[in-house]
Amino acid sequence: MKIEAGPFQHERRPRVFSRTARAWSRGLTLLSALALNGCAVGPDFQVPPPPRDTSYTEQVLPEATASAPGPGGEAQRLAAGRDIPADWWTLFRSPQIDGLVREALAHSPTLGAAQATLREAHETLRANEGGLLLPAVTGQAGATRERAAATAIGGAAGGAPGSTAGPGAYDLTLLNATVNVSYNLDVFGSARRQIEGFGAQVDNSYYQLEATYLTLTSSVVTTALQEASVRAQLQTTQEIADAQAEELKLIQQQYAVGAVPKSSVLQQQTQLATTRASLPGLEKQLQQTRNQLAVLVGATPSRAALPTIRLEDLTLPSELPVSLPSELVRQRPDIKQSEAQLHQASAQIGVATAALLPQFSITAQYGNEGGALAHLFDPANAIWSLAGSVTQPIFKGGQLVAQRRAALAAYDAAWQQYRATVLLAFENVANTLVALDADARTLVADVDADDLARETLGQVEAQYKLGAVSYLALLDAQRQYSQTHVSLVQAQGTRFTDTATLFQALGGGWWNRARPLADVSQPAKTGTPQTPIP
């Protein structure tokens, strides 16, 4: 049940309108000021404070990583508090990777969808700002032709002279043209809280766009680095297979003169077949990686024309900027997006609270009404009305109170989700920093193991040719070198990937971008989509 009251409802038909217009103006100004100066119920959103952590990891990490010879072996110094460049991928000094990122930014449908979603959020905000905060003004014109009984309108029983209506009836024409104004006074801030929520949705969409941008650029870079690593593994495995094939020729020659048994030939053939069996898997992985890269840049695999990425052509950045923990919550797009969702949930508490309070509205109408078009706008035919009302919910079965409790619960859920997002972000950075240090030390160990395995294989081959060692010793030395050399190549690729992952975990430097992604705040032409409809 609700109560509606119209404290100043009034209607009349004046001969002139100037005095009424002034009264309208004063009344609307007064009520608008009342609405705009009214309090907005519900909590005023406060940005959560950043964590007080001074480091990301439990243990203090060295200021610089270990170094090793070869690709990806440079020592990297961690520069605490240093800002991240927006185009961080250029630090790898690879024109191919830079070109792939530019292609992805220009043609990725995922990025285009995020930009369109942001435009939608902007226009939704604009629409609700006009619909909720400003008066609604409509114009209306109409014409009515009707036949009425003479006795019903107090006319002569014989009907109107010259009328075709017949005795006892009149044909009437009524023309009207009016302007109608309606305005809901936002005394308790319901509309303003709704607009605040739509603004938070714009922020949500904006940071979703930035998150998409970061994911896209990081995926392009890491996929390109993965291609370089797989390509190096494939090349290394092929070289090992070629060396084993040459060794097989030597053993076959020895077998032909009776120097070695048939089992030695079979064992070498098995070793070679095993190595060659790993080649198709690497070739498949390489091609699938390039297919993924093609899709990331917005092209089909058959038409992407992708460049070749090689580890030896890349430069490992020697200095890695590491943002302070207190700055991470302002840099990660996923955290800012979760913050916007928290803001939106806060605004909804205000909307639900205002629904419990009285709602004020005013309506007004002015126009002309007459029986002939020629005299429709005469002052004597002017009509107007002005009405105000207040509506107070009294009993709705607990619906409004439950809706407010639901809004509070939704805010609690958004707060816990925000906390989870922050914790996950700190975990990402900590894991990446630990990986940078550990993988650098792993590369050092792999380089040592590869050097030892290569030296061992050379000595065993020389001894085998002299008959000083058995073929099993040679076979074991070959197997050890094959495993250590492939592991070395994998470790080299991991160093590059760790670096890209760190830039992604720290937010990617989007706040230092010189130019915006696109002028996404500009609406499309009316009725014209920015992409063709199939």
Give the pLDDT of residue 516.
Answer: 72
Query: Which of 103-123 are b and which e, b meaning 16 or more Cβ less than 10 Å from the residue's Cβ?
Result: bbbeebebbbebbbbbbebbe
The strand pair at 319-322 and 359-370 is best described as unpaired
Asked if 77 and 440 touch (Cβ cutoff 8 Å), the reply is no
CATH number corresponding to 2-46+60-512: 1.20.1600.10
Give the pLDDT of residue 418.
Answer: 97
Q: Could you give the 3-state DSSP secondary structure of residue 79?
A: strand
CB atoms within 10 A of CB 223: 24
- List the beta strands (DSSP E) in 150-290: 169-185
Overall size of the chain counted in residues: 534
Residue linked to tokens 């992805």: 104
Q: Please state the φ and ψ torsions of residue 133, each to the nearest 5 degrees.
A: -100, -20
Determine the Cα–Cα distance for residues 204 and 216; give it in Å rounded to an integer.
Answer: 18
**Which pTM does this prediction carry?**
0.84
Determine the Cα–Cα distance for residues 222 and 214; give it in Å rounded to an integer.
Answer: 12
Give the pLDDT of residue 181.
Answer: 93
Listed in sequence order, the residues at least 6 apart from 189 whose beta carbon sits closer than 8 Å to its beta carbon are 38, 39, 40, 41, 42, 350, 354
Residue 404: enclosing H or E segment and its boundaries? helix 399-465
Determine the Cα–Cα distance for residues 211 and 344; give it in Å rounded to an integer.
Answer: 19
Give the pLDDT of residue 156.
Answer: 52
Give the pLDDT of residue 212.
Answer: 96
Determine the Cα–Cα distance for residues 501 and 283; give it in Å rounded to an integer.
Answer: 25
Return per-residue pLDDT of the chain as tens, 534 residues: 333 333 333 333 333 334 544 544 554 554 455 455 557 898 999 999 999 999 999 999 999 999 999 999 999 999 998 999 999 999 999 999 999 999 999 999 999 999 999 999 999 999 999 999 899 999 999 988 887 776 665 555 555 555 555 566 777 888 888 999 999 999 999 999 999 999 999 999 999 999 999 999 999 999 999 999 999 999 999 999 998 998 899 889 988 988 888 988 999 899 999 999 999 999 999 999 999 999 999 999 998 899 999 999 999 999 999 999 999 999 999 999 999 999 999 999 999 999 999 999 999 999 888 878 877 888 888 889 999 999 999 988 899 999 999 999 999 999 999 999 999 999 999 999 999 999 999 999 999 999 999 999 999 988 988 888 888 888 889 889 999 999 999 999 999 999 999 999 999 999 998 877 754 334 444 444 555 544
Q: Please state, in angstroms and as integers, the Cα–Cα distance from residue 440 to each residue in 23, 61, 126, 233, following that order.
A: 80, 12, 52, 19
Listed in sequence order, the residues at least 6 apart from 378 whose beta carbon sits closer than 8 Å to its beta carbon are 368, 370
Give the pLDDT of residue 17.
Answer: 38
Determine the Cα–Cα distance for residues 209 and 340; give it in Å rounded to an integer.
Answer: 13
* Cα dihedral 502→503→505→507 (10° resolution): 160
Q: Which of 103, 46, 7, 18 is nearest to 339 (CA)?
A: 46
Asked if 404 and 352 touch (Cβ cutoff 8 Å), the reply is yes
Q: Please state the φ and ψ torsions of residue 70, each to the nearest 5 degrees.
A: 100, 175
Give the pLDDT of residue 409.
Answer: 97
Give the pLDDT of residue 18.
Answer: 46
Q: Where exactly are the structural domains of the chain? A: 2-46+60-512
Q: Which of 518, 114, 88, 52 is nearest to 337 (CA)?
A: 114
Give the pLDDT of residue 531.
Answer: 53
Q: Which of 27, 116, 94, 16 is nearest to 499 (CA)?
A: 94
Residue 352: enclosing H or E segment and its boundaries? helix 333-354
Angle between the 471-505 and 399-465 helix axes, to the nearest 10 degrees?
Answer: 150
